[in-house]
Structure 1
């Protein structure tokens, strides 16, 4: 089988999540990478994609229509290329979730979402019921459309490959949508989805000011990214860019510190694959302790500042 992988990139650099997606795709068949973008940034991203170990060919579609990865423009591009491919694979990110279903609809096939493993050429596992059960699914479609949970696969080596780069025919602007603007939060801390350490706070932190006073110093000491439960986000303690969970971001850092988080199923679905989980909660019956490697039953307003002071 030959697999077309959508490359996610920014400022000419390939995002880490694409490396995990390449690893998953390589278990299905030969990997060809698609870089859709505009100008020098797209060219730089194509050069970077060509160096990824396991990528055999890079297709570069450079057009102003692809500058912001609008799905109404990118999906027709991919659909037009699928005559030469057995599968299309994308990361289970906002871009992947936006583009892949459109490709599946145009190809009239089912989509297999958020895969955790590749069990066979057309057989995969994926989480259901917020991750409480793992389903094994097998496709009978002629072509596959798949999204990959990046935290479930190791990252392919970013260097070592020497794939050829070919230009792909651009479909251009569909005229169905236009990019208006982007309001993105900026932080000097590591990106939440790729950070090695994450410190997350929950509703027990009372308000936004307290969240900042308790969580931020600990995260700064550890060089960690900051996360939050849905309850904390809904309460307005921090913006939803920081939400970890089924309806937020899926993370799997080397160390995850959950402060004042009870451990609702929705939150556990987004962080339970972390290598080491530390939970701090005064409720000894909190569900978070069932999956924590280290649990501290204590008042977070005393324990966390003490911990921060000792680092």
Structure 2
């Protein structure tokens, strides 16, 4: 069995989600190849070549792939598909955009958001907002999967780097063009990869409270800031900070939920966190059912007190 993993990267830097997808591919057995598609992405290819379990890195470096639009990347993957039994990508925005097109062009079923690999054709994935785990056996000749990166450990660094091979770039289908990107920049860790996340809900009541109440605690802990869908819909924070089924699905070492009731949609995005701390003045809030530590208190009193204690500990 030969498996192709579509790398998640930022041209000069390989995303950790790729290492986790390689780990998932390793559980299927067989030889693993990694495809790095982009423009000026040699550095990312070299990083992928250093992952344990990778036998070969395919480098597709061309201006037409500079923004990794779905159509040209899908055409590239389909052109390589004949040599592979399975095609995987992390379940990121990019992976979820590209692989459905690949599956459609290959006329096979896609299995989305895989959280466990039980064999070369047997996979587990969550349904009903994570309340049910579905086991799927694929009979397609080629398996097309997106894998939830938070469910797999990152592949380790190999003793010797795998070879890097340049591949031909197919003609751009020309069905879409890149216009612009608007990126929010922050000194805080990126939400998807942060070890600690401090999240707020609608109870914070304003964007200003996110900055004056949550931000000091997050900055002292070196944490990312997240939010519930209700807080995003209310306009308190941008939607790139949303945690949940329709936002980012994360599994940090520590998740602190402040004023979040714990709707199913939100729990689906964070319940795999290693340690969950919930602060809510409603003792019946559903968030307490998944929390390892719960504090029934007013967040406007509890969070500043927690920040003071953390800051004092850091100075000690």
Shorter-normalised TM range: over 0.9
For normalisation by structure 2, the TM-score amounts to 0.96
**Whole-angstrom CA distance in 2 between matches of 1:244 and 1:89:** 24
Listed as ranges, the matches of 1:116-131 within 5 Å are: 116-131=115-130
On the 8 A contact 2:11/2:38 being kept in 1, the answer is: no
Q: CA RMSD in A?
A: 0.9
Q: Give the CA deviation at 1:160.
A: 3.3
Listed as ranges, the matches of 1:62-77 within 5 Å are: 62-77=61-76
Q: Which residue number corresponds to residue 203 of structure 2?
A: 204
Q: Give the CA deviation at 1:11.
A: 4.0
Give CA deviations for 1:248-268 in whole Å, capped at 9, x if unaligned: 001101000000000000000
Q: Give the CA deviation at 1:303.
A: 0.6
Cα–Cα, structure 1 residues 255 and 97, in superposed 2: closer, same or farther, change >3 Å?
same
On the 8 A contact 1:37/1:63 being kept in 2, the answer is: yes
**Whole-angstrom CA distance in 2 between matches of 1:37 and 1:213:** 40
SS of residue in 2 equivalent to 1:247 = coil
Cα–Cα, structure 1 residues 161 and 97, in superposed 2: closer, same or farther, change >3 Å?
farther
SS of residue in 2 equivalent to 1:33 = strand
Give CA deviations for 1:75-128 in whole Å, capped at 9, x if unaligned: 010001010000100010110000000000011000000001111110000000
On the 8 A contact 1:19/1:158 being kept in 2, the answer is: no
Q: Which residue number corresponds to residue 153 of structure 2?
A: 154
Q: Does 1:13 align with 2:37?
A: no
Q: Does 1:221 align with 2:220?
A: yes
**Whole-angstrom CA distance in 2 between matches of 1:14 and 1:214:** 34
SS of residue in 1 equivalent to 2:126 = strand
Q: Which residue number corresponds to residue 27 of structure 2?
A: 27
**Whole-angstrom CA distance in 1 between matches of 2:173 and 2:157:** 33
Q: Give the CA deviation at 1:298.
A: 0.4
**Whole-angstrom CA distance in 1 between matches of 2:119 and 2:46:** 31
On the 8 A contact 2:114/2:126 being kept in 1, the answer is: yes
Q: Which residue number corresponds to residue 48 of structure 1?
A: 47
**Whole-angstrom CA distance in 2 between matches of 1:212 and 1:124:** 41
Q: Which residue number corresponds to residue 171 of structure 1?
A: 170
For normalisation by structure 1, the TM-score amounts to 0.98
Q: Which residue number corresponds to residue 38 of structure 2?
A: 37
User: Which 5+ residue runs of structure 1 have no aligned equivalent?
Assistant: none
SS of residue in 2 equivalent to 1:31 = strand
On the 8 A contact 2:243/2:250 being kept in 1, the answer is: yes
**Whole-angstrom CA distance in 1 between matches of 2:241 and 2:223:** 13
SS of residue in 1 equivalent to 2:20 = helix
Cα–Cα, structure 1 residues 155 and 130, in superposed 2: closer, same or farther, change >3 Å?
same
On the 8 A contact 1:214/1:301 being kept in 2, the answer is: yes
Q: Give the CA deviation at 1:240.
A: 0.3
Give CA deviations for 1:22-53 in whole Å, capped at 9, x if unaligned: 00011113110001112xx3111111111111
On the 8 A contact 1:54/1:161 being kept in 2, the answer is: no
On the 8 A contact 1:74/1:99 being kept in 2, the answer is: yes
